[in-house]
Structure 1
Amino acid sequence: MTISLGSTYATYSYMAKNSEKVLAQEAADPINARETAYYKANIEKVKTVDDFVNNYQLFNYAMKAYGLSDMAYAKAYMKKVLNSDVNSSTSFVNKLSDDKFKSFAKQFAYLKNGTLPYSTDITTVVNKFTQQTMEENAGADDQGVQLALYFKRNASTTTSAYSLLGDAALWQVMKTVYGFPDEMANADIATQKKAVDAKFNVKDLQDPEKVDKLLKRFTVMWDVQNNTSSDPVLQLFDTSNSYVSTGVSSSLLDLKYGG
């Protein structure tokens, strides 16, 4: 299922405001519904990590739910993740920089003991699958919408500038809003953190209202940089237009989109 209202701002605003409805529509999609039904009917039949990883349909469903689809081919690697002790600082999974692996290992830790998942475990994976599928479908039509949805979902778990710098999607949103240059990646990580902290208080990500304000600005700026041809109004914000100065454009972007 895809939704497109002609601009990143309009599409994201609609999806954020109507998230329950959008997710329900995604879950009801025939392909998604079949995959979810299979997962629910079969996940309790696997008793070991090997059983799980070797069941293509179950494993791929779970991997997609945690945003790890691109690693579904790496079965040996994922076995090491799943067999890791998430409570040990020296375990394999805790040495990985991407927290998605740790979340995945925690979710399926019961497989190491040969026990069954709780109903809440199954519901958690299904909900994550639906959310992830919705975001990926949005991104196929408009990457800016996918980035905004991802940022909104992960903002409250982001506790430092290092978290922003270490996540490509979160950082893309910050780069777009605050104009951090690509060349900044050449600096050491401490210098990059200092630059972020100078412009943005990461504690603001714990405030939903501030996150919403940031994402409104991001979606407008994404439209300015990528989608001006899709909406005549956005052409007014196009900084490549010689009749509009950069300063004026910046001032306009501080206004609420639409007036």
Structure 2
Amino acid sequence: MSNSIVFYKMPAMAAYQLALKQGDTALEKMAARKDVKAEVDYFRDKIQGVKSVEDLFKDRRLTKFVLDAVDLGKETDKMGLIRKALTQKAEDSDALMNRLPDKRYKVAASLLQFGEKGLGQIQRESTKDDLAELYVKSRYNDGLATQNSAVPLALYLKDNAAGVKNAYDILGDQRLRHVVTTALGLPLEIANQSVEAQAAAIEKRLKISDLSDPKFVDKMAKRFLMLSDDTSVSAGPEQWKLNLFA
């Protein structure tokens, strides 16, 4: 089996079907790619010798690896915010991670636990394994986004839809929000409404319990992909960030 993996521009639906067909094989190829393996090896070799969270952030290569793994790699222009959000304690209701509408910061902080354990969590073998796996998946999703930026978003819906309990779970996740509101035909201007009004608009068009049905979710993902191609939502890999809630 070849270890090379190449991404070509293609229509959203075709790229989505190809990603589903390749499945874990594509992730294995990505993990074996020379540049990806080099970053994983660097992380594993260096993280155990780091003495403090501050020292970790001083190593740009380590920092980039960790941020890529926890889905914050494209936010490096906000390093002050990142460091503050990731190093406070989650139990503090006033902690920045608990006040940000972008829940990626809280998810990352909960995994790394810098505020609670310093480097104790990230230096555990199980956490290193998790971060290595997440890094590979992040690099794979970056590749999919160059192929068609709507595809990793559709796959994100498939991976996370079953965990949605109410409309607020959708609104609290920028990517789910973008995919669901696009698939439901809700306009970008809905972001100007109150969160309660946005939740009501979603619940009027979507039975939340349907998100636990893989067939329903696949249909919603495909509708999102078709609308993305039709409306040029897939014009850029970060286009989904234009569809945020206030």
TM-score range, shorter chain: 0.7 to 0.9
Supply the distance in 1 between the matched residues of 2:113 and 2:144 (Cα, whole angstroms).
31
Q: Offset of 1:63 from its aligned partner?
A: 0.4
- Provide Cα deviations, 1:4-53, integer angstroms capped at 9, x if missing partner: 48421121122123220111111122211111111111111113110111
Query: Within the alignment, does 1:100 sit opposite 2:113 as a pair?
Result: no
In structure 2, relative to structure 1, the CA distance for the partners of 1:52 and 1:15 (3 Å cut) is same
In structure 2, relative to structure 1, the CA distance for the partners of 1:94 and 1:187 (3 Å cut) is closer
Supply the distance in 2 between the matched residues of 1:63 and 1:6 (Cα, whole angstroms).
28
- Provide Cα deviations, 1:110-159, integer angstroms capped at 9, x if missing partner: 67445362211011111111111111221122112122122223323333
Partner of 2:212: 206
Query: Within the alignment, does 1:195 sit opposite 2:201 as a pair?
Result: yes
CA-based RMSD of the aligned residues comes to 2.4
Query: Within the alignment, does 1:148 sit opposite 2:154 as a pair?
Result: yes
Contact 1:50/1:79 (<8 A) preserved: no
Partner of 2:168: 162
Query: Within the alignment, does 1:54 sit opposite 2:58 as a pair?
Result: yes
In structure 2, relative to structure 1, the CA distance for the partners of 1:87 and 1:2 (3 Å cut) is farther
Contact 1:47/1:115 (<8 A) preserved: no
Q: Which amino acid aligns with 1:178?
A: L
**Which 10-residue stretch deviates more, 24-33 or 179-188?**
179-188
TM norm structure 2: 0.81
In structure 2, relative to structure 1, the CA distance for the partners of 1:188 and 1:120 (3 Å cut) is same
- Provide Cα deviations, 1:185-241, integer angstroms capped at 9, x if missing partner: 2322211211110100223223333222221332234344449xxxxxxxxxxxxxx
Query: Which is greater in Rg?
Result: 1
Supply the distance in 2 between the matched residues of 1:8 and 1:164 (Cα, whole angstroms).
22
Supply the distance in 1 between the matched residues of 2:201 and 2:151 (Cα, whole angstroms).
26
Q: Which amino acid aligns with 1:106?
A: S
Contact 2:64/2:73 (<8 A) preserved: yes
Q: Which amino acid aligns with 1:91?
A: A
Contact 2:7/2:146 (<8 A) preserved: no
Query: Within the alignment, does 1:88 sit opposite 2:112 as a pair?
Result: no
Partner of 1:136: 142
In structure 2, relative to structure 1, the CA distance for the partners of 1:194 and 1:145 (3 Å cut) is same
Partner of 2:120: 115
In structure 2, relative to structure 1, the CA distance for the partners of 1:11 and 1:70 (3 Å cut) is closer
Contact 2:181/2:202 (<8 A) preserved: no
Partner of 1:233: none
Q: Offset of 1:73 from its aligned partner?
A: 4.2
Q: Which amino acid aligns with 1:192?
A: Q
Structure 1 unaligned blocks of 5 or more = 228-259
Query: Within the alignment, does 1:215 sit opposite 2:221 as a pair?
Result: yes
Contact 1:8/1:145 (<8 A) preserved: yes
Supply the distance in 2 between the matched residues of 1:72 and 1:120 (Cα, whole angstroms).
26
Q: Which amino acid aligns with 2:188?
A: D
**Which 10-residue stretch deviates more, 8-17 or 207-216?**
207-216
Structure 2 unaligned blocks of 5 or more = 234-246
In structure 2, relative to structure 1, the CA distance for the partners of 1:58 and 1:220 (3 Å cut) is same
Partner of 1:35: 39
Supply the distance in 2 between the matched residues of 1:114 and 1:132 (Cα, whole angstroms).
22
Q: Offset of 1:97 from its aligned partner?
A: 2.1
Give the number of equivalent residue pairs.
227
Q: Which amino acid aligns with 2:211?
A: L
TM norm structure 1: 0.77
- Provide Cα deviations, 1:164-201, integer angstroms capped at 9, x if missing partner: 23444323322332211223223222112111101002
Q: Which amino acid aligns with 2:36?
A: N
Contact 1:35/1:61 (<8 A) preserved: yes
Partner of 2:76: 72
